[in-house]
């Protein structure tokens, strides 16, 4: 065998007695490495000690010479295997020996066992021992003894609990376990081979550690193959050999699955093969750019020694053929191709498509370092290229195509790569694109490249780029653009027909961008292969369609409408050129919109958005033409030579479907008797569309266009005579009736058009925004007004006096004139009218004079006369404009002087009242002066210091009426000098007892001053903490007053001040709560205790959520005191105050433990804060 296959490793396999023979063969091998390994199944290592006694051995030796063929034992057939069918087949086999063990054979076997037992220490090759635990033919102890005695480093004992002697004919599950054990052993060998280098990969991947890659790799690999010259290539060869061995063992094993660790080991081994066997041998910049490789790959490539090109080619071919063998196994192919396809593609593209140098002529000398290409070498390389091209196409065809597209794009994206590589990748991509579902595969592949790294804006830009690439046929391969679009456009339609979900949204947007790009590149082909098919349902409703339809289902209408909405609204940015493709079916869409507007339909929103997108984004002239064509059912306004709009087919109607949608039916013989109602609804729909557009210019231009149409209509009616009843010369009554019917139809159409104009003008004239725009853009408005007034004046002057009967034209003329006069009156009454406009209006004074004298309608005559007077006198007003402006300024200055005088008079009266000897008048003067301060009178505020002195002087008055009014005046002045006011009021509050007030009068005065101090704190608001000592001391000082009302009032005022101070109380809290505690515990007056509890609740209200922070050391005592009061007190008002205070504490604690969740949005202009 060794002579026949010198390059293959040799393994020895033995079962039972064959195991003994295999071990003897290993011992007798000419060299230790002759066999690469041994596999022993139930090997005969030792016999039963009860049978191998010295006596039996001597007897066997003696009988072997006398009766060598005498059988001494028989094998029990039931002990061979548990697989009964296999056992029966083996026993029935004539070639199978079923006799007993002969004596001479047994003697030599015992001799061989003795020799083996002495030589077991010499066996060092890899060893796999398999033994059945219930084997009665060969003792399992022998296998265990062999495993324990042999000094081999790579050895394994697999003992199967229920297996008999012949395990190779065991049940399938047992065989499968054996196969799995062998797989694990192979993977363990592979893992041991790659594990040290894998650790080095991790080390090299860390940028902070720098090592010498040559020393690291060579040192590791030299331990495996010490005699190899090219250490790296030897390592790659070993990995490929182990992977090939694994692939061969997996053949036919359909139930075998690779564990996660095994897949990881294969992937790591492939990384090493790529790093050491593929990348160093590739042409520079073929495949992924080096800058995008890992640190380990860059280190390996940087330390790679340069070798001859033939050696690189030979190594690359060897690796490629080895990998071709591996990918034939499905389990390995899945791991290898899913993770390393890009580098394999680069390798096969180079081997199959790299340009070859032409063979050198035989008589031409070459440079010493120049590569010599011989004809034989060229032919061999050409054959290799054909082989690798075939293999590459075979691999690409069986792979998931989006993954192929992804890796081809990555290879093609290398900017420094050779041009032939980019061309080949482009050819492969084009080939994938032209296949069935090729467009979807290409889009999936493109989307996989850099997935998850873009924002929404960059994703949209990316979709546009993809569409640009897909919509332009590759010039190198497909020069026939129509053939390319014939293949691609049906795939675009298939993508658009995908059911809407988050995954298909990206494909829809790309397909929509493709539709737009193709329409921009080729208008004819886009209509032929895309747009006409998308709009086919609505095109068949047009009058000029060669194959019209009589009925369209609601499913077809909904499907096509949603598709149009996706393409023109959702999937693309607004573009008037692209939206112009809707014009052939735009009037049909408007008819459909009119049908669903007055009902409930799912089509209402997409249909409205589609129409609004066209009206907003197209030019105003095109939008107005479309709306007029829909309103009048006439293309006379659209005759621009392009025939862009198409009228719907006569007789089509949109009705409600059975499934809640809208379907189209054809009713050609049904007369539209309700045309007035339908036209009225249509006019409302048009006005709603214009309002929803929110385009002021569009609505205004449409309104002016209707005004011009009305003017032309009136002129045409005045010029054209009434049509005769019949122009038929024949005396046939039937022909006369037919002619009369035709004339009547034409008259009705004109009447409907005229009425539609009037309806639309009436509805639009009610829009205030249109009127405002008309006033801003008055050039066209004045043109219409002047023309209308001139025409009506001329008609009025030429009208005969006997013609008093009114017809339709006179009614329309009257409406037109009243509208023009109304607009003119609005215009001329505006504050700013240009001089040129006045001059233009003065040219129509003659016409206004005629209308004011001769027009039959009284309202029109009066309005004409007023407008004539206003326009005629405007010139005189303009001459005196400057003089009038100066006069107005003078009048305004006089009014200001009068106002200042009146204010001074008020102050003078108040001051004069203060000097009156009568007490009520002096009090009224103080009240008036206080009002002036509150009203912020300018004169009073300029002298606020003097006013405050007046209030202070009146504090000396003994009468309480004057005294209290002076106090109120000082409170009003607190905004201007709070320090002075607080100082005066607190001093007065403290000196009440020194004054001559006695009894209830003193108590009332003290209460009023306390209330005044509270009002000052409310006025000061956040400035109150500055004066807290001045405010609190007077109130605290009155807590020992003998009168209980004074004490209660002081506590009430103290609570109000503390509530306004909030968390600014600071260290005063100790004194405040000590006083409150003493009052609550010791004061005999229930009114005082009520006020003390009220102070607690007011302090808690003022602190709010900050109470737990400010009252850290007090809150517990406060709570205990309140609970004690709740249990001991019987006064209902006092208990009510206690409940309020406890409720405040409960709310504070609840908000602390269960804060409100406020969802706030924070917008940062530059960078987010560090704590976010």
Place of tokens 């369609």: 545
Query: Tell me, what's the pLDDT at 378?
Result: 86
Query: Tell me, what's the pLDDT at 691?
Result: 86
- Quote the CA–CA distance of 970 and 1023 in Å, as a whole number: 17
Query: Tell me, what's the pLDDT at 726?
Result: 47
pLDDT 10s digits, 733-775: 667 666 766 677 677 777 777 788 878 877 887 777 777 776 6
Query: Tell me, what's the pLDDT at 63?
Result: 59
Query: Tell me, what's the pLDDT at 734?
Result: 67
Top mean pLDDT of 114-118, 362-366, 608-612, 805-809 is at 608-612
Q: Is 384 a catalytic residue?
A: no
Query: Tell me, what's the pLDDT at 228?
Result: 41
- Quote the CA–CA distance of 718 and 799 in Å, as a whole number: 11
CA distances from 1088 to 217, 322, 1141 (A): 95, 103, 16
| Lowest mean pLDDT segment, chosen from 3-12, 88-97, 244-253, 639-648 | 639-648
CA distances from 663 to 585, 610, 762 (A): 16, 19, 33
**pLDDT average, residue stretch 884-913:** 60
Which carries the bigger pLDDT value, residue 874 or residue 880?
874
Residue of 15, 16, 565, 593 marked active site: 16
- Quote the CA–CA distance of 956 and 797 in Å, as a whole number: 91
CB 221 within 8 A of CB 229: no
Which carries the bigger pLDDT value, residue 716 or residue 661?
661
Top mean pLDDT of 300-309, 386-395, 947-956 is at 386-395
- Return the axis-axis angle of helices 481-496 and 438-448, rounded to nearest 10°: 70
**pLDDT average, residue stretch 413-431:** 86
- Average pLDDT of the chain, as a whole number: 75
Which carries the bigger pLDDT value, residue 571 or residue 102?
571
Query: Tell me, what's the pLDDT at 720?
Result: 58
Query: Tell me, what's the pLDDT at 856?
Result: 83
Q: Give the number of other Cβ atoms within 10 Å of residue 502's Cβ.
A: 6
pLDDT of 1106 above 60 = yes
Which carries the bigger pLDDT value, residue 458 or residue 808?
458
Query: Tell me, what's the pLDDT at 203?
Result: 38
Query: Tell me, what's the pLDDT at 902?
Result: 56
- Quote the CA–CA distance of 1093 and 1078 in Å, as a whole number: 12
Query: Tell me, what's the pLDDT at 486?
Result: 85
- Quote the CA–CA distance of 900 and 538 in Å, as a whole number: 77
| Lowest mean pLDDT segment, chosen from 89-93, 326-330, 702-706, 1154-1158 | 1154-1158
CA triple 1020-1025-1026, angle to 5 deg: 85
pLDDT 10s digits, 336-372: 888 888 888 999 999 999 888 888 776 655 555 567 7
Residue of 15, 22, 135, 683 marked active site: 135
- Quote the CA–CA distance of 974 and 961 in Å, as a whole number: 21
CB 594 within 8 A of CB 603: no
Strand 155-160 relative to strand 71-73, pairing: unpaired
pLDDT of 26 above 80 = yes
User: Exposed, middle or buried by CB within 10 Å (0-12, 13-18, 19+), for 196?
Assistant: middle
CB 611 within 8 A of CB 585: no
- Residues ≥6 apart with Cβ < 8 Å to 73: 100, 101, 106
Of the pLDDT bands very low, low, confident and very high (cuts 50, 70, 90), residue 412 is confident
- Return the axis-axis angle of helices 696-719 and 733-764, rounded to nearest 10°: 140
pLDDT of 1065 above 70 = no
pLDDT of 5 above 80 = no
pLDDT of 1049 above 70 = yes
Which carries the bigger pLDDT value, residue 150 or residue 948?
150
Query: Tell me, what's the pLDDT at 949?
Result: 75
Contacts of 1007-1011 spanning 24+ positions with Cβ under 8 A: 1007/1045, 1007/1049, 1008/964, 1008/967, 1009/967, 1009/985, 1010/1035, 1010/1049, 1010/1050, 1010/1052, 1010/1053, 1011/1053
pLDDT 10s digits, 825-868: 877 777 777 777 777 788 888 888 888 888 888 888 888 888 88
Which carries the bigger pLDDT value, residue 583 or residue 196?
583
Query: Tell me, what's the pLDDT at 200?
Result: 42
Query: Tell me, what's the pLDDT at 907?
Result: 57
pLDDT of 976 above 80 = no
Query: Tell me, what's the pLDDT at 157?
Result: 86
pLDDT of 880 above 60 = no
- Quote the CA–CA distance of 795 and 783 in Å, as a whole number: 18
Query: Tell me, what's the pLDDT at 218?
Result: 40
pLDDT of 411 above 50 = yes
Which of left, alpha, beta for 498 (phi over 0: left; psi -120 to 50: alpha)? beta
**pLDDT average, residue stretch 134-146:** 83
Domains of the chain, earliest start first: 11-193 (3.40.50.1820), 1028-1159 (1.25.10.10)
SS3 at position 156: strand
**pLDDT average, residue stretch 681-685:** 86
Q: Is 135 a catalytic residue?
A: yes
**pLDDT average, residue stretch 67-81:** 66
Query: Tell me, what's the pLDDT at 20?
Result: 83
Query: Tell me, what's the pLDDT at 801?
Result: 45
**pLDDT average, residue stretch 198-226:** 37
Query: Tell me, what's the pLDDT at 942?
Result: 73
Beta pairing partners, 128: 39, 156
Query: Tell me, what's the pLDDT at 826?
Result: 78
The token pair that represents 915 in the structure block? 């000097």
Of the pLDDT bands very low, low, confident and very high (cuts 50, 70, 90), residue 56 is low
Query: Tell me, what's the pLDDT at 1123?
Result: 84
Of the pLDDT bands very low, low, confident and very high (cuts 50, 70, 90), residue 206 is very low
SS3 at position 1164: coil
pLDDT of 640 above 70 = no
First to last CA, the chain: 75
Of the pLDDT bands very low, low, confident and very high (cuts 50, 70, 90), residue 295 is low
Query: Tell me, what's the pLDDT at 255?
Result: 66
Of the pLDDT bands very low, low, confident and very high (cuts 50, 70, 90), residue 993 is low
User: Exposed, middle or buried by CB within 10 Å (0-12, 13-18, 19+), for 1116?
Assistant: exposed
Largest CA distance in the chain: 171
- Return the axis-axis angle of helices 1068-1082 and 1115-1128, rounded to nearest 10°: 10
User: What phi and psi values does residue 98 have, to the nearest 5 degrees?
Assistant: -120, 10
pTM of the entire structure? Answer: 0.54
Query: Tell me, what's the pLDDT at 387?
Result: 92
Q: Which helix (H) or strand (E) holds 1033?
A: helix 1028-1037
Top mean pLDDT of 81-85, 389-393, 660-664 is at 389-393
The token pair that represents 678 in the structure block? 């339908």
Query: Tell me, what's the pLDDT at 645?
Result: 84
**CA-wise closest residue to 611 among 588, 589, 630, 640:** 589
Give the rounded percent of residues in the chain with a pLDDT score beyond 90. Answer: 1
Query: Tell me, what's the pLDDT at 386?
Result: 92
CB 444 within 8 A of CB 309: no
Look at the alpha carbons of 1074, 1077, 1078, 1079 in this order and tell me if their dihedral is positive or negative. positive
* Count of helices and strands (H, E) across the chain: 50, 9
pLDDT of 814 above 50 = yes
| Lowest mean pLDDT segment, chosen from 207-221, 517-531, 793-807 | 207-221
pLDDT of 731 above 60 = no
Residue of 15, 64, 165, 519 marked active site: 165
């Amino acid at each position: 065998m060794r002579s026949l296959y010198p390059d293959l490793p040799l393994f020895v396999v033995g079962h039972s007695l064959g195991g003994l023979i295999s071990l003897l063969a290993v011992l007798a091998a000419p060299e230790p490495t002759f066999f690469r390994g041994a596999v022993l199944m139930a090997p005969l290592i030792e016999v039963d000690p009860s049978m191998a006694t010295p006596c039996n051995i001597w007897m066997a030796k003696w009988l072997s010479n006398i009766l060598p063929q005498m059988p001494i034992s028989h094998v029990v057939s039931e002990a061979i295997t548990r697989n009964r069918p296999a056992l029966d087949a083996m026993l029935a086999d004539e070639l199978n020996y079923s006799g007993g063990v002969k004596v001479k054979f047994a003697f030599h076997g015992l001799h061989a066992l003795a020799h083996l037992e002495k030589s077991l220490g010499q066996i060092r090759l890899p060893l796999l021992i398999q033994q059945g635990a219930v084997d009665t033919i060969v003792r399992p102890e022998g296998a265990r003894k062999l495993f324990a005695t042999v000094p081999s480093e790579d050895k394994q004992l697999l003992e199967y609990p229920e297996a008999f002697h012949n395990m190779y004919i065991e049940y399938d599950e047992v065989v499968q376990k054996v196969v799995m054990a062998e797989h694990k052993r192979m993977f363990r060998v592979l893992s041991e081979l790659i594990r040290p280098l894998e650790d080095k990969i991790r080390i090299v991947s860390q940028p902070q550690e720098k090592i010498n890659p040559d020393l690291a790799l060579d040192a590791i690999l030299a331990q495996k193959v010490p005699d190899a010259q090219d250490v790296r290539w030897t390592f790659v060869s070993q990995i490929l050999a182990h992977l090939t061995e694994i692939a061969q063992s997996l053949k036919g094993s359909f139930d075998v699955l690779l564990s996660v660790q095994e897949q990881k080991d294969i992937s790591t081994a492939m990384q090493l093969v790529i790093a050491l066997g593929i990348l160093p041998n590739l042409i520079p910049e073929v495949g992924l750019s080096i800058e995008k490789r890992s640190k380990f790959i860059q280190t390996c490539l940087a330390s790679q020694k340069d070798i001859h090109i033939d050696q690189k080619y030979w190594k690359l071919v060897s690796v490629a053929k080895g990998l071709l063998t591996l990918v034939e196994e499905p389990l390995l192919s899945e791991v290898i191709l899913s993770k390393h396809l890009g580098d394999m593609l680069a390798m096969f593209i180079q081997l199959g498509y790299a340009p070859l140098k032409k063979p050198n002529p035989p008589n031409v000398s070459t440079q010493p370092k120049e590569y010599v290409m011989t004809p034989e070498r060229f032919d061999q390389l050409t054959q290799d290229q054909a082989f690798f091209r075939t293999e590459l196409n075979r691999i690409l065809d069986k792979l998931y195509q989006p993954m192929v597209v992804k890796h081809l794009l990555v290879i093609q994206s290398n900017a420094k790569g050779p041009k032939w590589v980019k061309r080949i990748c482009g050819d492969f991509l084009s080939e994938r694109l032209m296949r069935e579902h090729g467009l979807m595969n290409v889009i999936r592949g493109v989307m996989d490249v850099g997935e998850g790294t873009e924002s929404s804006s960059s994703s949209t830009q990316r979709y546009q780029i993809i569409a640009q690439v897909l919509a332009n046929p590759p010039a190198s391969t497909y020069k026939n653009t129509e053939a390319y679009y014939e293949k691609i456009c049906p795939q675009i339609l298939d993508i658009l027909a995908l059911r809407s979900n988050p995954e298909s949204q990206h494909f829809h947007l790309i397909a929509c961008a493709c539709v737009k790009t193709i329409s921009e590149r080729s208008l004819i082909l886009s209509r032929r292969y895309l747009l006409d098919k998308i709009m086919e349902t609505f095109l068949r409703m047009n009058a000029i369609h060669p194959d019209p339809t009589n009925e369209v289902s609601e499913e077809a209408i909904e499907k096509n409408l949603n598709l149009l909405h996706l393409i023109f609204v959702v999937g693309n940015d607004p573009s008037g050129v692209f939206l112009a493709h809707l014009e052939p079916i735009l009037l049909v869409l408007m008819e459909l919109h009119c049908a669903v507007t007055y009902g409930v339909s799912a089509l209402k929103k997409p249909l409205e958005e589609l129409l609004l997108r066209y009206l907003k984004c197209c030019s105003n002239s095109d939008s107005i033409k479309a709306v007029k064509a829909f309103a009048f059912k006439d293309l006379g306004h659209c005759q621009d030579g392009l025939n862009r709009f198409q009228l719907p087919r006569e007789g089509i109607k949109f009705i409600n479907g059975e499934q809640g949608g809208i379907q189209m039916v054809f009713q050609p013989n049904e007369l539209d008797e309700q045309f007035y109602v339908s036209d009225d609804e249509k006019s409302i729909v048009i006005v709603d569309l214009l309002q929803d557009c929110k385009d002021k210019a569009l609505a205004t231009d449409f309104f002016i266009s209707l005004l011009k149409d009305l003017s032309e209509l009136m002129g045409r009616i005045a010029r054209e005579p009434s049509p005769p009843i019949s122009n038929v010369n024949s005396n046939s009554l039937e022909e006369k009736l037919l002619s009369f019917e035709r004339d009547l139809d034409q008259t009705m159409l004109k009447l409907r058009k005229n009425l539609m104009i009037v309806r639309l003008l009436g509805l639009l004239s009610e829009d205030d925004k249109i009127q405002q725009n008309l006033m801003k853009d008055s050039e066209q408005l004045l043109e219409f007004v002047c023309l209308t007034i001139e025409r009506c004046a001329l008609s009025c002057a030429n009208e005969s006096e006997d013609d008093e009967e009114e017809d339709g034209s006179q009614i329309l003329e009257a409406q037109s004139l009243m509208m023009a006069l109304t607009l003119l009156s609005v215009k001329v009454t505006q504050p700013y009218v240009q001089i040129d406009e006045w001059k233009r209006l003065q040219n129509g004074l003659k016409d206004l004079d005629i209308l004011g004298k001769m027009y039959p309608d009284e309202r029109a005559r009066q309005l004409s006369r007023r407008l004539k007077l206003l326009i005629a006198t405007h010139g005189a007003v303009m001459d005196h404009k400057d003089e009038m402006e100066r006069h107005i300024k003078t009048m305004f200055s006089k009014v200001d002087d009068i106002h200042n005088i009146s204010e001074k008079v008020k102050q003078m009266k108040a001051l004069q009242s203060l000097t009156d000897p009568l007490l009520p008048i002096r009090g009224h003067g103080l009240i008036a002066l206080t009002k002036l301060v509150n009203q912020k009178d300018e004169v009073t505020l300029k002298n606020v210091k003097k006013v405050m002195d007046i209030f202070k002087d009146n504090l000396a008055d003994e009468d309480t009426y004057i005294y209290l009014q002076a106090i109120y005046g000082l409170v009003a002045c607190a905004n201007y000098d709070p320090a002075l006011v607080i100082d005066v009021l607190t001093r007065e509050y403290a000196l009440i007892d020194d004054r001559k007030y006695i009894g209830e009068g003193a108590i009332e005065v003290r209460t009023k001053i306390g209330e005044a101090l509270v009002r000052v704190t409310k006025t000061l608001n956040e400035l109150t903490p500055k004066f807290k000592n001045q405010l609190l001391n007077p109130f605290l000082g009155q807590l020992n007053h003998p009168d209980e009302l004074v004490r209660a009032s002081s506590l009430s005022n103290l609570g109000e001040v503390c509530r306004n101070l909030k968390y600014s109380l600071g260290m005063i809290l100790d004194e405040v709560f000590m006083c409150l505690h003493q009052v609550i515990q010791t004061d005999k007056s229930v009114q005082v205790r009520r006020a003390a509890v009220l102070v607690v609740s007011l302090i808690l209200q003022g602190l709010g959520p900050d109470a737990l922070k400010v009252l850290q050391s007090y809150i517990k005592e406060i709570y205990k005191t309140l609970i004690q009061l709740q249990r001991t007190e019987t006064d209902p008002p006092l208990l009510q105050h206690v409940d309020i205070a406890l409720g405040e504490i409960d709310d504070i604690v609840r908000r602390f433990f269960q804060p409100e969740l406020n969802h706030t949005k924070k917008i940062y202009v530059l960078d987010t804060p560090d704590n976010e």
